Amino acid sequence: MHQQGSLMPSLLSGVFCQCRSTDAHPGADPGGGVTQQSASGVWHTDEGDHPCDICGGSEQEHRLKVLFQVLDVNGDGGICVNDLTIGLKKLGVHRTEHELMKIVKAGDKDLDGQLDFEEFVHYLRDHEKKLRLVFKSLDRKNDGRIDSQEIMQSLRDLGVNISEEQAEKILRSMDKNGTMTIDWNEWRDYHLLHPADNIPEIILYWKHSSIFDVGESLMVPDEFTAEEKKMGMLWRHLVAGGGAGAVSRTCTAPLDRLKVLMQVHSSKSNSMRIAGGFAQMIREGGTRSLWRGNGINVLKIAPESAIKFVAYEQIKRLIGSNQETLGITERLVAGSLAGAIAQSSIYPMEVLKTRLALRKTGQYSGIQDCAKHIFQREGVAAFYKGYIPNMLGIIPYAGIDLAVYETLKNSWLQHYATDSADPGVFVLLACGTTSSTCGQLASYPLALVRTRMQAQASLGGGPQMSMTGLFRHIIRTEGPIGLYRGLAPNFMKVIPSVSISYVVYEYLKITLGVQSK
């Protein structure tokens, strides 16, 4: 077994151009050639016409084929989970079945359940780039090697304190030459055939739903590293996110109330403009009336966030994931179900928010009085009006928001990430704003129908229509554009919402002692 195990370093060390083990930054160009960085800082591609001076393109191709043939146990030109299990054992590498399934799933572009040679090469190159990001972030001295002090400091930034002895134990598991430091080759060889869809370095920087609050709570919850959960950082992130959401919603409450009024009252015969809507609100109830409904909107942040996160963690266990993070499809399923549970739990507060936003001066004395009036006049069922379109709206909103955000994130990591997975404030804000806007646009008709159903009884004299009846009525009387009433003020508040929530989130993180790199 010792001889078989020694095959692993020799094969993997030659998988990629060795010139990348020094200062060159690893990557892959769209054409599949190996990219490296010259002394001038210009990236170029090692193709057949311009072979690498050190390793040579043909030699690298040969090494990749040798590794592929070793892992392709049955010789059918494709590597499946069973092939990986047997092939890696021959090389002295042991991975769980779940880990091997994630490797195949990550690289299987044609969805045939196995990796052909081209998919295998693409997976290794993409995976190597992610590993380089982590290596660079750990190599604080920038000397191309990781020592025990650098491991201790990096984990300390995550809120995890370990002894030097523990750090050295981590080093020994990867150190092949006995130097008690890890160079890039040792790091890559140890991790290359190990799945890492959500590397902790990327999870740390690319929080989404915790940071950005646009007034809707339908986003898929963020992933947190095991270290963040163990060291009490999790609740601090949630508190920081809740506080940021409260400030953000309060600052943009006038636009949110205007959106509700336009969704309910605006029509072909009663067109409501933005300036006219604000003037009407101020005339009717003064400047303070611009914030009607904001109190309940802020109050529901805490219970909804807590319920959604707890439900998300439980659903992750139920769907059989023993990993600390999920793939995008599993996240969408778990996040949508968690969102549905949270929304079901606090939905009466959603109805109260709509009724309070639409109320006339003196109609209700407060939240409790509003709830009492609704219960006495309409019964318990009134607190769940619009529930079905609200639940249906979770899937398009959460799905598109998550897909757009992950696409933008992966595109940035692929093309622009060099020394760290940290995108910087402007990239993060741009990705968050774009994904939230796309999600809202997709689910907006359902949100409008939900709001009208919540408000129907308060309008007086109007028919009490079902969801489908209301859709048909709007299309017949106003056309498709009627499903997008109030869209302008809704989009006007997206950029200030994400900007304010980000700034407040970062400030509260510092106040609460959440470490940032």
Looking at residue 225, its pLDDT comes to: 57
Distant-in-sequence, close-in-space partners of 354: CB < 8 Å, separation ≥ 6: 260, 293, 451, 454, 455
Contact 452, 263 (CB under 8 A): yes
Distant-in-sequence, close-in-space partners of 436: CB < 8 Å, separation ≥ 6: 212, 214, 219, 401, 494, 498
Q: Which residue has the tokens 């190990």?
A: 194
In the predicted structure, residue 111 carries a pLDDT above the cut 50: yes
How many other C-beta atoms are found inside a 10 Å radius of the C-beta of residue 324?
16
Give the tens place of pLDDT for each residue, 162-218.
677 767 777 776 777 778 888 877 777 666 665 544 444 454 455 555 555 555 655
Give the tens place of pLDDT for each residue, 427-485.
878 888 888 888 889 899 999 999 999 988 776 656 678 899 999 999 999 899 999 99
Length of the chain: 517
Looking at residue 427, its pLDDT comes to: 81
Give the mean model confidence (pLDDT) for residues 333-358: 90
Domains of the chain: 61-209 (1.10.238.10), 232-512 (1.50.40.10)
Contact 306, 362 (CB under 8 A): no
Better pLDDT: 358 or 188:
358
Highest mean pLDDT among 79-83, 101-105, 238-242, 424-428: 79-83
Highest mean pLDDT among 85-89, 231-235, 413-417: 85-89
Contact 79, 104 (CB under 8 A): yes
Looking at residue 452, its pLDDT comes to: 92
In the chain, % helix, strand, coil (3-state, to 5) comes to 65, 5, 30
Give the mean model confidence (pLDDT) for residues 39-54: 36
- Global confidence as pTM: 0.60
Q: Whole-number mean pLDDT of the chain?
A: 75
* φ, ψ at 115 (rounded to 5°): -105, 120
Contact 137, 154 (CB under 8 A): yes
Amino acid (one-letter) located at 225: T
Contact 180, 377 (CB under 8 A): no
Give the tens place of pLDDT for each residue, 223-256.
665 555 555 666 777 788 888 889 999 999 999 9
Range from 73-87, 191-205, 375-389 carrying the lowest mean pLDDT: 191-205
Query: Distance between CA atoms of 83 and 316, rounded to whole angstroms?
Result: 28
Looking at residue 281, its pLDDT comes to: 92
Contact 192, 219 (CB under 8 A): no
Exposure pattern of 357-388 as b/e (b: 16+ CB <10 Å)? Answer: bbbeeeebeebeebbebbeeebeeebbbbbbb
Better pLDDT: 109 or 471:
471
Better pLDDT: 505 or 280:
280
Query: Distance between CA atoms of 144 and 156, rounded to whole angstroms?
Result: 21
Range from 186-200, 289-303, 321-335, 372-386 carrying the lowest mean pLDDT: 186-200
Task: Write the CA distances from 218 to 318, 331, 394, 398, 483, integer angstroms.
Answer: 21, 13, 6, 6, 19
Query: Distance between CA atoms of 41 and 83, rounded to whole angstroms?
Result: 40
Residue 34 three-state SS:
strand
Structure tokens belonging to residue 351: 């109805």
Beta bridge partners of 45: 35
Q: Which parts of 231-366 fold into alpha helices (H)?
A: 233-251, 253-265, 274-285, 294-299, 301-318, 328-358
Range from 25-39, 110-124, 449-463, 501-515 carrying the lowest mean pLDDT: 25-39
Better pLDDT: 14 or 328:
328
Of 63, 30, 134, give the one whose Cα is nearest residue 417: 134
Highest mean pLDDT among 45-49, 93-97, 218-222, 396-400: 396-400
The single-letter DSSP state of residue 436 is H
How many other C-beta atoms are found inside a 10 Å radius of the C-beta of residue 92?
15
Structure tokens belonging to residue 423: 């995108």
Query: Distance between CA atoms of 221 and 161, rounded to whole angstroms?
Result: 27
Q: Which parts of 24-147 fold into alpha helices (H)?
A: 57-71, 81-90, 97-107, 117-138
Range from 58-67, 245-254, 306-315, 503-512 carrying the lowest mean pLDDT: 58-67
Highest mean pLDDT among 14-18, 217-221, 242-246: 242-246
pLDDT tier for residue 143 given thresholds of 50, 70 and 90: confident
SS3 per-residue string spanning 404-421: HHHHHHHHHHHHCCCCCC
